[in-house]
A and B are shown apart, each in its own frame.
Chain A
Amino acid sequence: MSGMLAIYQRELLILRKRLFRQLASMSVSPLLYLVAFGLGMGRGVSVGGHSYLEFLIPGLVAMNSMMQSFAIASEINIARFYWHIFEEIQAAPIRNISYITGEVLAGITRALFSVALIILIAVLSGVSLSYNIYFWFAVVLNSFVFASLAVGLAMLVKSHSDQALLTNFFITPMAFLGGTFFPVDKMPEWAQYILYFLPLTHASKAIRAAALGDPPTFSSYLLLASLGTVLFVLAFHCVNRARE
């Protein structure tokens, strides 16, 4: 428990030291998407009886919570490959489960920060959505999935550039295809079938339903929770394998 707290507090300390830079960087992409797709392209467009901005903002919440929780992989890699701090952690009497839990919690915290920023932007844009318990639960589950994935992959990659490659091939396409900018059910059936396998599709669906006051989609919650648990267990094995 104290090992987990040590790892988590270290990440928070680093986040606090870079707070201004982090907040600026976290708000750039949602702001750009909001201006380009929401205010520019989406003016006058409605999706399922809601304005495009109301549709877009929950999608941006899903996308940004995914990206920020996954970004913990970069922090781990910097600690592993450049600063060698991972060696300090490996030599400490803490269990791997404590290490993973600390890092995953840090990933979730980063994601929550970024979501708070998007909500602020939404409020300033005059968009009113419901930020109820289902909304936050879906955000946490989505972040849990991608933070666990991040920890596992960070242990498998051999260099920081490998990590960038994984982001370019998996995370960026998912950000665009996982129901962030358009409703997945408007896609051809074969495409819907493929997109159904993306965790972000389910996260967008759950977050959007909660934000728009629709009934919660329990299957999405269940799927995210199960996938998150599987990825967490896999991350545990990856940390074990990270030893030389």
Chain B
Amino acid sequence: MIRFENLRKRYKQVEALKGVSLRVNEGELFAYLGPNGSGKTTTIKILTGLAAASEGDAWLNGFHIERESIQAKRQCGVAPQSINLDNELTVRENLDFHGKLFEMPRRERVQRIHELLEYVEIADRINSAAKALSGGMRRRVMIARALMHSPRILFLDEPTVGLDPAIRRRIWSLVKKIQQSGTTIFLTTHYIEEAEFLADRVAFLDEGRIVALDTPQNLMEAMGAWALDRVRDGGMETFYFRDREEAQKHIAEYQAGFSLRRINLEDVFISLTGKKVIT
């Protein structure tokens, strides 16, 4: 379980987090959404020990991240936004180094490396240098590395950024598989459909504050079911409707330049903040 209360982070003049509180339940796949610069990565950095909070407290499975930092770090695995594999080392050596950092015995490390590389479907590249892998393979190796010490919590910071749609879907099924094994997953993304597809609950973060928190379904249902986009005076306006019939009455007024579609999480975010999620 992840819990944080009144988390604040100031960088000189900028306040990146403005008193954020949240509780993520055990086994939950939680998506933390927001545009670039909204404070998503800052939150993960604080929770994983890479940054110190200016104010507030946080616990990972009951261990305080500052006062019991060693125990707290043992609870979680992290796959950060930027690829941070050791390029000169092979896939096996990268995972082995992680295992050593987490004090895993040699035999357990060897066994776990093989298991995980099978799991993320990259076993045939075990002896390849990290620099020789494609972007999608590197992401999968990073996820395998984060799982190396069998953490109960997994932080995935933008795990599919820069990947093509097919690889992205492959990562999604991997993330689902990890959740099914009982791991709590805290996912940040600015790909809205990623959260919609994967998450049990989502929080929208905007300018360092949580502006909405619920299941994707509840957030979307609160807005309606159908969205009508209409091009007008060079811009686009969107109307939301409870049912299709109601939307079709509106369509009858237009001749062209409109599209009717299902409401998605991005509509929720735009209506809450007036911003697009993908920036």
Chain A interface residues toward B at CB < 8 A: 2-3, 5-6, 9-10, 13-14, 17-18, 79, 83-85, 87-95, 243-244
Contacts and interface: CB of A to CB of B under 8 A. Distances in A.
Contacts, number: 75
Interface string B70-113: 11011010101011111111000100011011110000000000
A243 B51 contact: yes
Given A13-B89, A83-B85, A243-B50, 17 more contacts: A6-B100, A10-B86, A14-B86, A14-B88, A14-B89, A17-B88, A18-B88, A84-B80, A84-B82, A85-B84, A87-B50, A89-B101, A91-B50, A91-B78, A93-B101, A243-B52, A244-B11
Contacts of A85: 84-86
Find the residue from A83, A84, A93, A243 having the highest chain B CB count within 10 A: A93
Contacts of A93: 69-71, 73-74, 101-103
B45 interface: yes
B49 interface: yes
A141 B85 CA distance: 33
Interface string B32-59: 0000000000000100111110000000
B143 to A, nearest CB: 13
Interface residues of B, number: 31
B174 to A, nearest CB: 20
A2 B106 CA distance: 12
A10 B97 contact: yes
13 contacts: A10-B89, A10-B97, A14-B88, A83-B85, A84-B84, A88-B84, A88-B101, A89-B101, A92-B102, A93-B73, A94-B101, A243-B50, A244-B50
A137 B104 CA distance: 34
Given A88-B98, A91-B78, A92-B102, A83 B86 contact: yes
Interface in B168-200: none
A92 B75 CA distance: 10
B84 A9 contact: no
A43 to B, nearest CB: 43
A216 to B, nearest CB: 38
Q: Which 7 A-B pairs have the closest CB atoms?
A: A6-B100, A244-B51, A84-B84, A92-B101, A93-B73, A93-B70, A2-B103
